[in-house]
Chain A
Amino acid sequence: MINGVIRMRRELMIRLLRSYLAGTIDDDIDKIPCQLRPRDMASTRCCPYKDRAIIKYRLMALLGAAWEDEQDESRPLRDYLRDALAAHARPARPLTVCGTGCSGCEDGKYQVTDACRACFARPCTYNCPTQAISFRSQRAHIDQDACKNCGKCMELCPFHAITRAVVPCEEACPVGAIRKNAAGVAEIDFTACIFCGKCFAACPFAAILERSELLNIVDDLQRGRKLVALVAPSAAGQFPGSIGQLFAAMAAADFSDVIEVAIGAEMTTAHEAAEYRERMAAGARLLTTSCCPAYVEAAKKHAHAIVPFISNTPSPMLYAAQIAREKHPDAAIVFIGPCIAKRHEATLHPGVIDWIMSFEELGALLAAKGIDVMSQPEWPMPRPAAASARHFARSCGVTEAVLKELAANTHDHDVEAKAEAVAVQGRVIDGITTKSVKQLQLYGLGKLPGNFLEVMACPGGCNNGPCSLSC
């Protein structure tokens, strides 16, 4: 659902790319903050000058730079642009927190609102385990020093007059990787971060930013470098028009070839089904999917017991990259999807994927080039991917594809016979939360049933990734 944060992010991308394509970016880029926030325009923060500063940091992130690395506040954006194009490299970390834009949201305290009627029952005072609630001026008051944040008062108030102030990024993070530092500014602990992007999507001040590779991709396209696009299965339904029209639009944007990552998902399905049969035949009690990089990261950092059960099968992105390399050995490969964690996965496999682009960034590129998806002809797909592989993008999709493959494929009769003795008991974790991270550990310890576990960090699957157009 569109909001001010999403609109500003997309508008900045389009503006930046239009300027680049017009050949005026060197002159334009440092003017963009003033153009977007002239001094007589109502500010969204304290003043237009702070708005402009934050727009500058957003543009820096679009150039791949991190707020945390800034050495000289007076450095113009055109210098960052020059550095980004000269380095021609992917940022090491996919996220940055713009401290200037962080509102330092108040900690999760319970507060009494105007809806309090100072009722006779007063279940809040009777049930508060620390006697932190008293009544003054016909209204409940919570002594924040005594409050233990148990939430009983909120639960029991008949008027819903007690609320809990949340810190959206901390509330969204399933692994406690983002916290305010001593200066009251949010900070990501990258040793704990799983790159799920939930903080990025949750921050209402847009302080958490993706470090983009967009300018490098467009620069490569403009210079005539051969770029092959790998499009994630979740592309279906992201843009108006058909998937074939979207691919045609990408060809019109000068991508040399467009390959469905779902073709890679077919290979993942076949290998994962084979791995399931082999592991079950060898007596394993569980196999989990491996295609969601945020899940794999969550397991490695927060649920160690499940790590031995993660499939060794490469993700659809990696298989698709292999196909693209064989077909176009001289091309750079761009993965396009809705996921921030894929940026991290690409970093873990150097030389496989050259660039990562989000659906939003693809949309901005098409918009900047004036390419209308709905007006495109159908792209002649050499071989459309199987429907089950395209369904990888939704929750349960991988399980369904693997079950279908297991039912159909009988390469090794001996292994097959042994595996069949163990009926598939599929389980799905649909969205990584604090609770589901604990469940992962329990699955690893054998305390939860099931022998095939699919895990998707985003509820509903990749279709609802943090950089999808449908969110």
Chain B
Amino acid sequence: MSEKCMIKVEVCCGTTCFLLGARELLALADDPPAAWQGRVEVIATPCMDACNGNRFSGSPYVRINGTLLSGATRDLVEQRVNAIMAKPQPERSAEQ
């Protein structure tokens, strides 16, 4: 038995990101693309502290498998996730 690696999408829900578009990104958790089923986990996280200083113009921020993405939109997140999914995935044993 083996399963594909899970892709983790963390949506920053700090107040700035939430005001500037993170709210809409959370729809990816409730209504994900069909192909994401069982392979992508979308979660809301507290402030990632990515918007300090004048970097708040880059809000909303999203972290995909640990990589920070600024100016995130639903389309952009879908593109990045789909690109990761299209790459050959290492498999891991479910028994490990």
Contact = CB atoms under 8 A, between A and B. Distances in A.
Interface of A: 1-2, 7, 10-11, 14, 239-240, 249, 360, 363-364, 366-367, 371-375, 469-470
Contacts of A10: 19-20
Contacts of A14: 16, 19, 56
Nearest to B26: A240
Given A14-B19, A239-B15, A363-B15, A2 B24 contact: yes
Contacts, number: 51
A374 B47 contact: yes
Interface in B9-47: 13-16, 18-21, 23-24, 44-47
Nearest to B47: A372
Contacts of B65: none
Contacts of A364: 19
B18 to A, nearest CB: 6
Given A367-B56, A469-B23, A375 B16 contact: no
Interface size for chain B: under 10, 10 to 19, 20 to 34, or 35 or more residues?
Answer: 10 to 19
Contacts of B45: 374
Nearest to A366: B15
B20 A7 contact: yes
Given A372-B47, A374-B13, A239 B18 contact: yes
Contacts of B82: none
Contact of B21 (A7, A363, A374, A470): A7
Given A364-B19, A373-B18, 4 more contacts: A363-B15, A372-B14, A374-B46, A374-B47
Nearest to A13: B19
A373 B45 CA distance: 11
Contacts of A372: 14-15, 46-47
A240 B16 contact: no
Contacts of B57: 11
A2 B14 contact: no
A364 B56 CA distance: 12
A7 B88 CA distance: 37
Contacts of B44: 240, 374
Nearest to B45: A374
A371 B14 CA distance: 8
Contacts of A375: 46-47
A373 B20 contact: no
A235 B57 CA distance: 25
A11 B20 contact: yes
A49 B24 CA distance: 31
A13 B44 CA distance: 24
B18 A2 contact: no
A373 B19 CA distance: 12
A363 B18 contact: yes
Contacts of A470: 23
7 contacts: A7-B20, A367-B19, A374-B44, A375-B47, A469-B18, A469-B19, A470-B23
Contacts of B16: 14, 367
A364 B19 CA distance: 8
Residue from A1, A2, A366, A469 having most chain B Cβ neighbours under 10 A: A2
Nearest to B23: A469
A169 B20 CA distance: 24
Nearest to A371: B15
Contacts of A240: 13, 18, 44
Given A14-B16, A240-B13, A2 B47 contact: no
Which 10 A/B pairs are nearest by Cβ-Cβ distance? Answer: A372-B47, A367-B16, A240-B13, A367-B15, A374-B46, A366-B15, A363-B19, A2-B21, A375-B46, A10-B19
Contact of B15 (A1, A2, A373): A373
B47 to A, nearest CB: 4
B35 to A, nearest CB: 24
